[in-house]
């Protein structure tokens, strides 16, 4: 009687290994293959963002960043690389010359459904794609010496 069960166990083990090989996400990776990092927006839809003044920081629990007018944050209720952001929390600035661009960005981010990272580029997909490069804008970067000096 043990012999008929053994082929079934072997088949079950092979099927389990085959299914697990289809999963491209590393086991236990809360980021779904997306590097936890700071990024700068370089494109919205088919257009470019010449000022590079919108940032995003990606973490397993959600995103945060700075636009030309407001800081923002949103919790992700899906498992990365899928995204389903709760309503964005912003700092509430409404008198800003770049508010229209920022609102377009916030709308696209709120409607996003997925992230992907390939070749050093982060893409947040939805009806309007958001394209990012790794890093921070030069205006936000500080060197170690400036940090050490503080406000001297």
Label the pairing between strands 38-44 and 55-59.
antiparallel
Q: Give domain status of residue 55, yes or no.
A: yes
pLDDT, tens digit (0-9, with 9 covering 90-100), for 25-52: 445 688 989 999 999 999 999 999 888 9
Tokens of 114: 């997925």
What pLDDT is recorded for position 56?
97
Question: Domain tally for the chain?
Answer: 1
Average pLDDT per consecutive 10 residues, the chain (152 residues; last block may be shorter): 45 38 53 93 92 94 96 96 96 94 96 95 97 83 51 51
Q: Give domain status of residue 132, yes or no.
A: yes
- Using DSSP's 3-state secondary structure scheme, residue 106 falls into helix
Q: Give domain status of residue 14, yes or no.
A: no
**How far is residue 152's CA from residue 149's CA, in Å, rounded to a whole number?**
6
Q: Give domain status of residue 11, yes or no.
A: no
The H-or-E segment that residue 100 falls in is helix 99-110
Structural domain for 81, as ranges: 38-137
Beta bridge partners of 58: 63
């Amino acid at each position: 009687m043990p012999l008929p069960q053994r082929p079934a166990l072997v088949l079950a083990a092979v099927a389990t290994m085959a299914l697990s090989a289809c999963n491209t996400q590393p086991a236990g990776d809360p980021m779904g293959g997306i590097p936890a990092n700071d990024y700068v927006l370089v494109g919205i839809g088919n257009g470019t963002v010449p000022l590079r003044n919108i940032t995003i920081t990606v973490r397993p629990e959600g995103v945060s960043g700075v636009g030309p007018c407001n800081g923002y944050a949103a919790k992700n209720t899906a498992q990365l690389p899928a995204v389903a952001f709760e309503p964005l929390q912003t700092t509430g600035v409404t008198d800003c010359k770049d508010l229209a661009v920022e609102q377009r960005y916030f709308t696209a981010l709120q409607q996003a459904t997925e992230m992907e990272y390939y070749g050093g580029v982060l893409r947040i997909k939805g009806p309007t794609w958001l394209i990012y490069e790794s890093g921070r804008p030069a205006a936000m970067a500080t060197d170690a010496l400036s940090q050490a000096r503080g406000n001297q």
